[in-house]
Amino acid sequence: MRAPALVLVILSLAVMIGAVATIGGPEQARAERRDAQRMTDLNALGRHVTCLLDQELDLDDTSDICPPPPRVTDPKTDTPYQITRTAPDIVRVCAEFERPARTDTLAYRADFDRDAGCLILRRTESRIRG
């Protein structure tokens, strides 16, 4: 192999290694997809739980007018998401995110606690007064 060709091969390898180090590899992409699924699950679970709260039902009850309960387990570990009632009208729905620093791009809701990985759900104001 001639010297210019060897330099080109080494430069190409350096660029590829730099690209993988900068944007991550396939495992990082899988972790980001799983985190996106976790956020989708939490949002669906949040709609379900908020509906139950609005009807003053227990969290394990069902209702004909509430959306059906979504997936309630982590897509990678299959462990259940944490659902905790912290007050009569407040529930925390939490997941363990693989890349918590990236959840800002996933969480469009103001009631998402990025540090804890939790949605903070409250009974709808109109239901409390009415």
pLDDT tens-digit readout, 56-77: 888 888 888 988 878 789 999 9
* Tens digits of residue pLDDT in 19-31: 655 556 788 889 8
Domain ranges of the chain: 27-129
Please, are residues 117 and 48 in contact by the beta-carbon 8 Å criterion? no
Return the pLDDT at 129: 45
- Position 107 pLDDT exceeds 80: no
Distance CA 52, CA 125 (A): 14
Backbone angles phi, psi at 98, to 5 degrees: -75, -30
Q: How far is CA 72 from the centre of its chain?
A: 12
Which run of H or of E encompasses 112? strand 112-113
pTM, 2 dp: 0.73
Q: Look up tokens 């387990």; give the residue.
A: 73
